[in-house]
Amino acid sequence: MLIGVPTESAAGERRVALVPETIARLTKTGVGVRVQRGAGDAAAFVVDAYETAGATIAPDAAAVFGEADLIVKVQRPTDAELELMHPGQTLLAFLSPLGDPASVERYAKKKITALSMDAIPRITRAQSMDALSSQANIGGYKAALLAAEYLPRFFPMLTTAAGTIAPAKVLILGAGVAGLQAIATARRLGAVVSGYDTRAIVKEQVQSLGASFLELDLGVDAAGAGGYAKALTAEQEARQQDLLAQHVATIDVVITTAAVPGRRAPLLLNEAAVVAMKPGSVIVDLAAETGGNCALTKPGEVTVAHGVTIVGTTNLPSTMPYHASQLYSRNVYALLQLLIKDGALNLDLNDEIVKGTTLTKDGEILHEPTLSALAGKGSGSAS
């Protein structure tokens, strides 16, 4: 079997799907790997390192897509890349099926077996494959650094000959993987940190990192299945926004991390909350790509509104491409260990992980959440 690794073509994407350390492990099992020349350059993985690891180098994307049995990417393929693929090939990437269900129909029509790294079930056995978590860790870390960069004051308390500087107050909204990493990083930078989540169960995790836990009386504990939070009612959302607007008036930095797969990010900070914040305060919105947790966030931009800097930078893991690629590559390898038997791809759809990850196979859409999303839009599965 031959695995192909093309250069990522999405704007601003600097990660690469497989790094040399992973390829060296794959080639020892008898699997061939073909990497497009320059695929790892932006992440500081050079051609020589790939060749040393046992990969062959392809001159262009066409040579990768045309020859490989399995294509491994970070981002979903562009229309031009999809044209290069042929029936019977397998595609593995962050395909975000619920964000674009129609793209899954195209994979089925092309008779491609499509596997999505963001559809891996969140179960104990799949932790080493959880690329969403590995990349969210990076996003949370970088969010705290961006907040420190844009805040016109120190994060830590400083005692100087000119007097004592009080530490910055940082509030993290959402205590998932990204939120907990943002809390830990802001604490390491010396800020006074608090965390908020609609799930009471995460209070202990927040406090274990040295932060206080902000409790708002919403009349509900929104803990849901798989570690995710349940959606609030419209009335609960409105109350949450009002209470947060009152609280952020005393905060220097707010980092928001709330996201719902396949849906617009929940609105946590309305314009009134931004108005209430002190001039010079900073909001870093990690949900910018899916609409933003702040009403005034502009995806992909850093803006100033009512004296508050709002950072809507998207794809933060790509801004740290070396380690982001390394971690993603390890996640991919862990999944491939399950999928590859005796040098060939073997999809056991009775396995919970394989079933949850497989979107399409043999011209059919198998992913139940995608089928439900398509049915809701009046579209059927492709065959």
Annotated catalytic residues are: 122, 127, 130, 133, 228
d(CA 183, CA 253): 12
Phi-psi region of 56 (alpha: psi -120 to 50; beta: other; left: phi over 0): beta
Pairwise CA distance, residues 284 & 145, whole Å: 10
Task: Return d(Cα 367, Cα 97) in angstroms, integer.
Answer: 9
User: Burial, 87: exposed, middle or buried (Cβ in 10 Å; 0-12, 13-18, 19+)?
Assistant: exposed
DSSP secondary structure of 84-132: H--TT-EEEEE--TTT-HHHHHHHHHTT-EEEEGGGS--SGGGGGG-HH
Q: Which tokens go with 1?
A: 């079997």
Residue partners of 376: CB distance under 8 A and separation at least 6: none
Q: Which of 77, 194, 183, 101 is nearest to 136 (CA)?
A: 183
Q: How far apart are CA 175 and CA 149, in angstroms?
A: 22
Give the residue among 130, 383, 116 at the shortest CA–CA distance from 262. 116
Q: Is 235 exposed, middle or buried (0-12, 13-18, 19+ CB in 10 A)?
A: exposed
Residues in the chain: 383
